[in-house]
Structure 1
Amino acid sequence: MCVTATVNSTIATYELKSLNQLGWMAIGFGSHMANSPMVILWQTVNGTVILSQRQATGRVEPLPVTDPPRRATVALRDHTSQGVSTILAFDIPKNNDTIQSLVWAFGVTAPAADPSAFIQQHLDAGAFSLNLSKELEVASVSASGPTASSTQLGGPSIAVDPAPPQSSPVTASNLLHTDGLLVAHAALSAAGFLILLPLGTLVARWARVFTPRWFTAHWFINVVLGIPLVCVGWALGPLAVAQRGRAHVVTPHQICGVALIVLYIFQLALGTLVHLRRPKDGKGHPPRNVGHVVLGLAVFGLSIYTTISGVDRDAEESGASQRVVVAICIGWAAVFAGTYSIGLLFLRRQLAQERLGWNVPESVPVPLPVMVAGTRASSELVAARRRATTVVNRLADDGTHDMFSPPAWVSSLEAGGEAAGEEQTRTEMRQVQAVPVSLSAFI
């Protein structure tokens, strides 16, 4: 946004030039937003310029003022667009200020064609001062140096007197530092919410039918890697907003960001509860398990929307760049949805494995068969008992024993029937019945 002022004997004319997408532009006569008389300009779709004089009690929407201290009128000139820049101007009676303090703001959403219409919060704002000690007979005098530098930063460009402004709280270094925070906020948040968390979700969906170590990978991605990136990236957003002096939790991007971090924390807590309170028999899926899955998918969907809403409100990004980012987000959402949906084809296999006690997150060893009193614990007997326990903690069941008593072939081996025991071993291995044992059975 660029501001140009022209002063004659009784009238001061202010020109507001849009350097980005034009919604509305405003300046206020004061050093703070609160209680400063403001003049807000915007253009309707048919080219009509709407002028609204307002005042705010704080960092809230300014309300129309019916009797302002100085009444402004739309300047009688052709408000044409120069390339992508639109110039709107207004006239206002001159006051006796020689050094004039002003605030500026602009938004990218045009209000309705009514001076009292609702105005969406500004995209950027700041303060500056003007030296009005000279009266100019010409239309305007431009200072090319300040205009070139401040235009690139999105701040106000002052063109009143060849002398520079007396003060400018919105400095180049501050804006560049803020832009760096926003870039870091976007990069870290995208890495956490759009890459790591969806990856952890896909690992839980796909790997659980192939390995019992799926939970370790799921936990490592979401907790060890995800928490630092998500928390640091999210915190940089409010920090950048505070440095720009803008309001918090008012735009859709900010509101969704707060909701997103709350859901993420709740998701972590719910996942911990699901893992610590697994069913004793290792079967079934309580509502908390289903809720954990649904909430994880909701977090990813909200992350996509939050990213898109954040890109759309950045007027410094070109339209082409915004479209590329939005296309990437939509494409990644489609890839994730398709990959996750294919993983649901393994759901039947997962449930069958859970009934057999396979691929559970924790591997709790099943006790060896209880030794019969007076039995000689020979090396052959120990080896036979080890063969009875498979790598997935299963015991063969021929109907002659339970999980705490030896099968018939072990008993025959203990009685000295080694040959018979070996024959029974071959018969025993033909049918295996898994007996999952929960940790809670031994606590």
Structure 2
Amino acid sequence: MWRPLLLALCAVQGALALAGTNRCNDRICIKATRADNIDTYTIHTHPDRPIAPEKFGWMAIGWGLVMPNSPLVIMWPNEDGTFTLSQRKAPRHVMPSVDHSPPRTAQLNEGLTWSNTTSTSLSFDVPSDENNNTIIIWAMSNTRPDSTDPTAGLIQHTWHGGEMIDFTTEYSDVAGPTAIGYGSSKATDPATGGPSLSLIAHVVCGVLVTMLVLPGGVVVPRITRGITTTKSWFYFHILNQGFFALALVCVNFGLGLTFGGEIDSAHRRTGTALFVLVILQILLGIFSHFYKPGHRVQQYTFETKRGRGPTNFLHVVFGIITVAVGWSACWSGFTVEWTRRGHGVPAYGFRVGWGLIVMMWIALYILGLIFFLPRQLRIESAQRATDLAEQKRYFPSEFDLKVRNQALTPSPPMPLRGGTPSTTAFAQQSPKLSSEFASPEGSPILRTSFSSTRPPRMPLVTYPARKNSDPFADRKSSSIKGGHF
């Protein structure tokens, strides 16, 4: 008689028993129970790691292995004591947007949701999907959204992880160890949730290259070129921009890649643009300083009297643009990106310091344009005149050679007035200078006929006949001995 009653009581007790999982890690605890085809998920901070309400941001649970395309339920407490529940989805590792048609609609469980000075618990209910074993992902941020609206913007999570949920086992209030574990981004210290060493190095390199190295490589040569005639500014420019700036930009860009995510913010877009511009600017500088176009190329380009071509002016313009992009990357980094990645709001003094440094560099560059650029042009003009004088001294130009040759070449004699004389020689006299014609007097008598049109002939000169002499006459009388004279 009692046996059927006991079996019925056991069946009722089994039906009333909760099935689910209760696990904790070093940061949070996750509870998942199933009853009457309703799954209840509760996520709260670890009892041994209390978090003050002002340092608590939001918590999220999603169904899937990774964040992209996984249904997410995000909750956060508000300053007025209310709680916000928002269901979202993200196509990539970006801030998830509101999902207006989620696969399962979640509702806030007010009985298990609370927040006090040491801990926070957030809970919601969703219809069961009849899947007894499922993997969930979770995330927690220490920066709270600034609105109670479910569509409010979110700050990137500080910690994230996964957990295995088993609804076939009986739920226990004693939490077990986590099955998957948790982690944080490379920009976050997993122990404290603050900036990691990689992020600190990223900030230091970024500030140095954008606020000191790049603008210094532009302003210092602008001023020194108006002071000295040496090439010290050029060597400084090469060392500063080609070595220090390039090294810092490459290291900074590499550290940024380790943080993961998409190019989805102004800081990441300007940082990528700065990396590309620095490399292009260095290549353009090498080309403009060391490449000299040939005669075939010069007809399609131009060159100033100081020897500057189009690439020199492009190098200057791109240099100014590169410095401006670097300033923009630094500004968006500490005003937007730092807060967006969950590291709090920086002090207002950083904005003031950024503005003072930028104004200082701009003032120095304008000073160099107004006072030192004209001085540089005068120095270059004087140097060019000196070089031209030295060149004319040792390497005269074609015009100078032509003038010199004309001065050294005697002019031809003036032609005789009247007709063209024709001459005939008659006799030979002793050579004496004639005062009238400045020719040897006594030379063959010239008979001039102005009526003849024939060109003049050279006078005929006769010389006395030379006697034939035998060069060996004085030796014929001598005897020849031994074949020798």
TM-score (norm 1): 0.62
The match for 2:252 is 233
Match of 1:103 in 2: 138
> Deviation of residue 84 (structure 1)?
11
Pairing partner for 1:135 from 165, 168, 171:
171
2:75 matches 1:41 = yes
Residues 340/220 of structure 1: CA separation in 2 closer, same or farther (3 Å cut)? same
Shift of 1:196: 1.7
Tell me if the contact between 1:27 and 1:105 (Cα under 8 Å) persists in the aligned partners: no
261 and 32 in structure 1: CA distance in 2 versus 1, 3 angstrom threshold: same
CA distance in 1, matches of 2:303, 2:383: 11
Query: Quick check: 1:307 aligned with 2:341?
Result: no
Matches of 2:153 and 2:344 in 1, distance apart?
Answer: 23
Output the amino acid matched with 1:308: W
Separation in structure 1 between the aligned mates of residue 343 and residue 255 of structure 2, nearest angstrom: 19
- For residues 76 and 382 of structure 2, the distance between their equivalents in structure 1, rounded to whole angstroms, comes to 69
Question: Per-residue deviation at 1:264?
Answer: 1.3
Match among 110, 113, 120 for residue 76 of structure 1: 110
Q: Does 1:91 align with 2:107?
A: no
Does the residue aligned with 1:53 lie in a helix, a strand or coil? strand
Residue 269 (str. 1) matches residue 305 (str. 2): no
1:350 and 2:376 matched: yes
Partner of 2:471: none
Q: Distance in 1 between matches of 2:139 and 2:368?
A: 53
Alpha-carbon distance change, 270 to 301 in structure 1, aligned in 2, over 3 angstroms: same
Match of 1:168 in 2: 181
Q: Could you tell me whether the CA contact under 8 Å between 2:29 and 2:44 is conserved in 1?
A: yes
- Report if aligned partners of 2:136, 2:165 keep a CA contact under 8 Å in 1: no
Q: Would you tell me which structure has more helix in proportion to its own residues?
A: 1
Query: 2:468 is matched with which residue?
Result: none
2:306 alignment partner, SS class: coil
What is aligned with 2:429?
A: none
* Residue equivalent to 1:293: 316
Partner Cα distance (2:135, 2:259) in 1: 28
Percent of aligned positions that are identical: 25
Aligned partners of 1:266 and 1:127: how far apart in 2? 41
1:135 maps to a residue whose letter is Y
CA distance in structure 2 between the partners assigned to 1:49 and 1:62 by the alignment: 19
Equivalent residue number for residue 28 of structure 1: 62
In structure 2, the CA distance between the partners of 1:339 and 1:171, relative to structure 1 (3 Å rule), is: closer
CA contact (8 A) 2:187 2:199 kept: no
Q: Secondary structure at the match of 1:369?
A: helix
Match of 2:42 among 14, 29, 34: 14
Secondary structure in 2 aligned to 1:257? helix
Structure 2: 5+ residue stretches without partners: 1-25, 46-50, 293-301, 405-485
In structure 2, relative to structure 1, the CA distance for the partners of 1:220 and 1:334 (3 Å cut) is: same
1:285 and 1:70 mapped to 2: Cα distance? 69
Give the distance between the partners of 2:388 and 2:33, measured in 1 at CA.
89
Report what 2:6 is aligned to: none
Q: Deviations over 1:345-376 (max 9, x none)?
A: 2222222223333799xx9995473499xxxx
Larger radius of gyration: 2
Cα distance change on mapping 1:67 and 1:370 into 2, 3 Å = closer
CA distance in 1, matches of 2:118, 2:320: 41
Contact 2:209 2:248 in 1 (8 A): yes
| Counterpart pick for 2:274 among 251, 256, 260 | 260
Aligned residue type for 1:332: I
**Matches of residues 381-420 of structure 1 in structure 2 within 5 Å?**
none
Q: For residue 228 of structure 1, report the CA deviation from its aligned partner.
A: 1.9
Structure 1: unaligned runs, 5 residues or longer: 142-160, 242-246, 373-400, 407-443
Tell me, yes or no, if the aligned pair for 2:162 and 2:182 is still in contact at 8 Å: yes
Change (3 A) 1:21 1:200: farther
TM-score, structure 2 length as denominator? 0.57
Shift in alpha-carbon separation, 1:134–1:286, aligned structure 2, 3 A? farther
Counterparts in 2 of 1:432-443, with a 5 A limit?
none
- Tell me the distance in 1 between the aligned counterparts of 2:375 and 2:271: 37
- Cα contact 1:30–1:103 (8 A) shared by 2: no
Residues 1:332 and 2:345 aligned together: no
Tell me how far apart the structure 2 counterparts of residues 305 and 343 of structure 1 sit (CA, whole Å).
23
8 Å contact kept, 1:238–1:248: no
Matched AA of 2:337: R
- Deviations 1:149-202 (Å, cap 9, x if unpaired)? xxxxxxxxxxxx532211115279996599333222222333333322222112
